[in-house]
Chain A
């Protein structure tokens, strides 16, 4: 009667576990520590490098959401300069129970000039920069983005005052990191006078058709007005720090009197989870026909999206290299281990221990190192490194870099490391086990 070619799986695992346990237990403590240290470092390489690269972007995305788009962002269609449905959109949002605060912004390109009082020689270049002039309701904007919290000098705009602006710090020499790219404004502080030149309509009494005005606007072809810098706002969000803000009333008085022609609308919600349903709801009203209605994540600037993809690729590449190096290391260690036990493996086969049990014993050893290494690594990451980087973010020009690590991502990476390690443990043992039993026993 033919005998079964394999023992039962339980016996195979039982023997494999016994062999693995004893080999780990009685192998050199230094060898065990070395392998586990390699696994910990590989895990950190996998998680931390990718986490920092991602964290740079995540910090930027979080800032973008907090200080610019809010949780839902409505902006003009490409090529358009105004939101034609400003009033209906605003009316809908202001009455919506999920919307905690909403701010309409009126944006136009402009130039701002400083130090013109001292510019006696008109052949010398003027000290001016191109900016995005933004009219805001100071109270609404504060409720949505906390713009006043970004003040580094001076005071916030008062809705009842006129003739003041908030300067974005990117435009000022003492703050900007980009002075190589353009000539920023020199010596501008709160109280400094600056000249704004913009394509204004000058129709100060025209409040738009919805407010009983007329559609007839007079294009004066450019208006220059002098303002006093009331404060300086600084943020790593370029859309905030490169702008110059003035009150909505000044905007209406000098630039465009029509309240129904906002450029962008930002809002915060009572619960962040309401963003996607709200966007869907606004689209169902047809607001997306002439405007981009997006969640903060969808409204990410394209360069940030490119950075996310690039850094993601970079992180994956570095992580991939780390996994390969780790796999090779484990392979070499297990191969040497199995090679030095070749005779023993032959004898085990000789006395009837199946090759599968021997291979599984080596795989279990590898898994042990991978699990211990990943566990220690996870404790270091979540217990030490994440809190450290949260308290001491990396100062990058466009964001405060944090260590961005998710539980799901960590489990995935630990899983990848474990699988690679298991394969790296299996292959060498398989190579040794498949050798002729007698050759192994006799060492030939």
Chain B
């Protein structure tokens, strides 16, 4: 098992001079491949900011990030786009689906970008949607799906390309209880199949399938906490 994420003294600040706000204050983090890790913290603690750094959506002010042994510090934006496409999957809090595309087109989009032909991409997309219980919803557009279904499409989009690392940014934040359980179950199943997952959440009970719960407070990692056990 290799190291999926390794950060060294990550600092992220915004503004300059007297207006400078340091959100992350020297984060050292290590997540192994195959782990399901929850990142918890209060609002404003820096948990989302940390996830943006390690998922290469943002660039730290200083410090180093290594993903699967690849140093990401000097990557150009174009290289980051390609790295994200080939290695990382994202589940956004608000689903972030393309409203004009059907469910299967949303899922197929990264596959097409990776060079799959339409038939293959559609086949993979449908199979992934099936696994998430969305049979018969292939041609539905996002506004024709419930919130829970949209989030499952988002999960399908993130996982259809078999990313090495899956990021989930408060995936249950906009969902009711039943839908949230469905999403967490889906993540559990993905992890069971070997998927490395880093999930940002502020709801402790949804860490029940995680192996580690990393806590962040005021931009600093504090002691890890035991996952929720019913």
How many angstroms from the CA of A392 to the CA of B109 in the assembled complex? 55
The answer to whether A5 touches B115, judged by C-beta atoms less than 8 angstroms apart, is no
Residue of B nearest to A14 (CB): B112
List chain B residues, Cβ under 8 A from A31: none
With an 8 Å Cβ cutoff, the count of chain B residues facing the other chain is 33
The answer to whether A19 touches B98, judged by C-beta atoms less than 8 angstroms apart, is yes
List chain B residues, Cβ under 8 A from A18: 101, 105, 109, 112
How many angstroms from the CA of A352 to the CA of B81 in the assembled complex? 5
Residue of B nearest to A437 (CB): B57
How many angstroms from the CA of A353 to the CA of B113 in the assembled complex? 6
Task: Determine whether A11 belongs to the interface, using a CB cutoff of 8 Å to chain B.
Answer: yes
How many angstroms from the CA of A351 to the CA of B169 in the assembled complex? 14
Residue of B nearest to A347 (CB): B96
The answer to whether B79 touches A3, judged by C-beta atoms less than 8 angstroms apart, is yes
Among A22-30, A263-271, A282-290, A314-322, the one that faces the other chain is A22-30
How many whole Å from B118's CB to the nearest CB in chain A?
7
Task: Determine whether A307 belongs to the interface, using a CB cutoff of 8 Å to chain B.
Answer: no
The answer to whether A7 touches B100, judged by C-beta atoms less than 8 angstroms apart, is no
Task: Determine whether B152 belongs to the interface, using a CB cutoff of 8 Å to chain A.
Answer: no
**Which of A343, A352, A441 makes the CB contact (< 8 A) with B113?**
A352
How many whole Å from A438's CB to the nearest CB in chain B?
4
Q: A11-B113, A22-B101, A438-B52 are in contact. Are A351 and B85 (CB under 8 A)?
A: yes
The answer to whether B110 touches A25, judged by C-beta atoms less than 8 angstroms apart, is no
Task: Determine whether A355 belongs to the interface, using a CB cutoff of 8 Å to chain B.
Answer: yes
How many angstroms from the CA of A344 to the CA of B84 in the assembled complex? 16
How many whole Å from A32's CB to the nearest CB in chain B?
13
List chain B residues, Cβ under 8 A from A344: 96, 98-99
Task: Determine whether B222 belongs to the interface, using a CB cutoff of 8 Å to chain A.
Answer: no
List chain A residues, Cβ under 8 A from B115: 7-8, 10-11
Per-residue interface assignment for chain B, residues 96 to 140, with 1 indicating a CB less than 8 Å from any chain A CB and 0 otherwise: 101111000100011011110010000000000000000000000
How many whole Å from B174's CB to the nearest CB in chain A?
15
Most chain A beta carbons < 10 A, residue from B89, B92, B98, B115: B98
Q: A7-B114, A7-B115 are in contact. Are A26 and B78 (CB under 8 A)?
A: no
Count class of interface residues, chain A:
35 or more
Residue of A nearest to B117 (CB): A14
List chain A residues, Cβ under 8 A from B52: 438
The answer to whether B84 touches A354, judged by C-beta atoms less than 8 angstroms apart, is no
Task: Determine whether B82 belongs to the interface, using a CB cutoff of 8 Å to chain A.
Answer: yes
B-facing residues in A74-112 (Cβ within 8 Å): none
List chain A residues, Cβ under 8 A from B164: none
Task: Determine whether A212 belongs to the interface, using a CB cutoff of 8 Å to chain B.
Answer: no
How many whole Å from A349's CB to the nearest CB in chain B?
6
List chain A residues, Cβ under 8 A from B81: 349, 352-355
Q: A18-B112, A344-B98 are in contact. Are A352 and B78 (CB under 8 A)?
A: no
The answer to whether A351 touches B100, judged by C-beta atoms less than 8 angstroms apart, is no
Most chain B beta carbons < 10 A, residue from A19, A344, A348, A350: A350
The answer to whether A26 touches B100, judged by C-beta atoms less than 8 angstroms apart, is yes
Residue of B nearest to A356 (CB): B78
List chain B residues, Cβ under 8 A from A22: 98, 100-101, 105
Residue of A nearest to B169 (CB): A441
Q: A15-B113, A18-B101, A22-B101 are in contact. Are A352 and B85 (CB under 8 A)?
A: yes
How many angstroms from the CA of A3 to the CA of B76 in the assembled complex? 12
The answer to whether A26 touches B99, judged by C-beta atoms less than 8 angstroms apart, is yes
A-facing residues in B118-170 (Cβ within 8 Å): 118, 141, 157-158
Task: Determine whether B206 belongs to the interface, using a CB cutoff of 8 Å to chain A.
Answer: no
List chain A residues, Cβ under 8 A from B112: 11, 14-15, 18
CB-based closest 5 A-B pairs:
A352-B85, A22-B100, A347-B96, A26-B100, A438-B58
Q: Which residues of A contact B (CB under 8 A)?
A: 2-8, 10-12, 14-15, 18-19, 22-23, 25-27, 343-344, 347-355, 357, 436-438, 441
Name 20 extra pairs, CB < 8 A, besides A22-B100, A351-B109. A3-B83, A5-B76, A11-B115, A18-B101, A18-B105, A19-B101, A26-B99, A350-B90, A351-B85, A351-B89, A352-B81, A352-B82, A352-B86, A352-B88, A352-B114, A353-B109, A355-B78, A437-B57, A438-B57, A438-B58
- In the complex, 21 of the A-B residue pairs with CB atoms within 8 angstroms, ordered by the A residue number, are A3-B79, A5-B79, A7-B85, A7-B113, A11-B114, A14-B118, A18-B112, A22-B101, A26-B100, A344-B99, A348-B98, A352-B86, A352-B113, A353-B85, A353-B110, A354-B81, A354-B113, A355-B78, A355-B81, A436-B58, A441-B96
